Amino acid sequence: MRFAFLSDIHGNATALEAVLNDLQTKQIDQTYILGDLCFRGPEPKRVLELVQASGARVIKGNADEWLVRGFKDGEVPVERLEMFNKERDWTLGRLSQEDLDYLKNLPTELVIDDGQDLVIHAFHASPSGLFTAIDGDETEKIENELMVRDEADIYIYGHTHHPYVRSLHGKNVINTGSVGMPFDGHPLASYIILDIEDGSHSVQLNRVPYNREHVVEIYKQSGYPNIEAMSAVIYYAVRPN
């Protein structure tokens, strides 16, 4: 079996299209999308349409939760809250109530066995919540907060926008990176392919180029708030303000 895992599209339909086109060449059996579909990008509606037409199994991310119910105290730095609310309002103006209901009702985790000899636990940030940021070098947190389902052989998530693969205690912990907004200085869309055969598996990190200039132009033409910061993210793969 060959599975694809992608996450953190963030309204970047151009990047998502490039990844989906790349997947067409890879003979994928099933695609999984690990949340953060629409918020902070210039084409939230088109992303949702592409996701729903893809046949992927989808879970919720923190940015999806934010669109549905807004920001709670402590989730966003106070100095950034006004801009986040402007970006949220802009995005909500392009989504329907049906779209928001879809985001609201997404599950928050998946346990995948599909008749294989390996069990995969997939989630957005951590099994206990959508907002916990755990990086690849935080071994103790990975052990205590990510590797909580003992029967799983593979743990896979997104949220940090930094892809990695680590082996711990005979198991693999994988971060998909981000399709629409990498933060690792490598501004290509990121996703994971997982091959499983006869109880063994291999992991492949893929980076896909797309037309970043086109995405920035869509930001500008659409009147998106915070264009300068978001353009820097697209061009240079840095964390936005």
pLDDT band at 143 (very low <50, low <70, confident <90, very high): very high
In a domain, 171, yes or no: yes
Average pLDDT (141-157) is 97
Q: How many domains does the chain have?
A: 1
Whether the CA torsion 179, 185, 187, 188 is positive or negative: it is negative
pLDDT given for residue 98 in this prediction:
98
- Look at residue 123 and tell me whether its pLDDT is greater than 90: yes
| Distances in whole angstroms, Cα of residue 119 to Cα of each of 97, 153, 203, 232 | 35, 5, 15, 38
- Is residue 29 in some structural domain? yes
pLDDT at 116: 73
Q: What is the pLDDT of residues 29-82, one digit of tens each?
A: 999 999 999 999 999 999 999 999 999 999 999 999 999 999 999 999 999 999
Whether 165 shows a pLDDT value over 80: the answer reads yes
Q: Provide the β-strand partners of residue 123.
A: 109
Query: Within a domain: residue 144?
Result: yes
**Average pLDDT of the chain?**
96
Percent of the chain with pLDDT over 90: 95
pLDDT higher for 41 or 199?
41
**In which order are the strands placed within the sheet that holds 30-33?**
57-58, 30-33, 2-6, 189-197, 200-208
> Are 38 and 63 a contacting pair, CB within 8 Å?
yes
Compute the distance between CA of residue 132 and CA of residue 15 in angstroms, rounded to an integer: 25
Mapped to the 3 state alphabet, what secondary structure does the chain carry?
CEEEEECCCCCCHHHHHHHHHHHCCCCCCEEEECCCCCCCCCCHHHHHHHHHHCCCEECCCHHHHHHHHCCCCCCCCHHHHHHHHHHHHHHHCCCCHHHHHHHHCCCCEEEECCCCCCCEEEECCECCECCCCCCCCCHHHHHHHHCCCCCCCEEEECCCCCCEEEEECCEEEEECCCCCCCCCCCCCEEEEEEEEECCEEEEEEEEECCCHHHHHHHHHHCCCCCHHHHHHHHHHCCCCC
In a domain, 108, yes or no: yes
The reply to whether 239 falls in a domain is no
| CATH code for the domain of 123 | 3.60.21.10
Mean per-residue pLDDT, 183-199: 95
Residue 220 confidence (pLDDT) above 90: yes
Distances (CA, A) of 241 to 2, 70, 91, 107: 37, 18, 17, 29
At residue 171, the pLDDT reads: 96
In which domain, by residue range, is 18 found?
A: 1-234
The answer to whether residue 90 is domain-embedded is yes
Above 90 in pLDDT, residue 240? no
pLDDT of residue 115: 72
Query: Whole-model pTM?
Result: 0.97
Is the pLDDT at 114 greater than 80, yes or no? no
pLDDT of residue 9: 98
pLDDT at 218 over 90: yes
**Residue 62 near residue 76 (C-beta atoms within 8 A):** no
Question: Is pLDDT above 80 for 241?
Answer: no
Mean pLDDT of 109-131: 93
Model pLDDT, residue 177: 98
Asked whether the predicted pLDDT for residue 117 surpasses 90, the reply is: no
pLDDT, position 223: 96
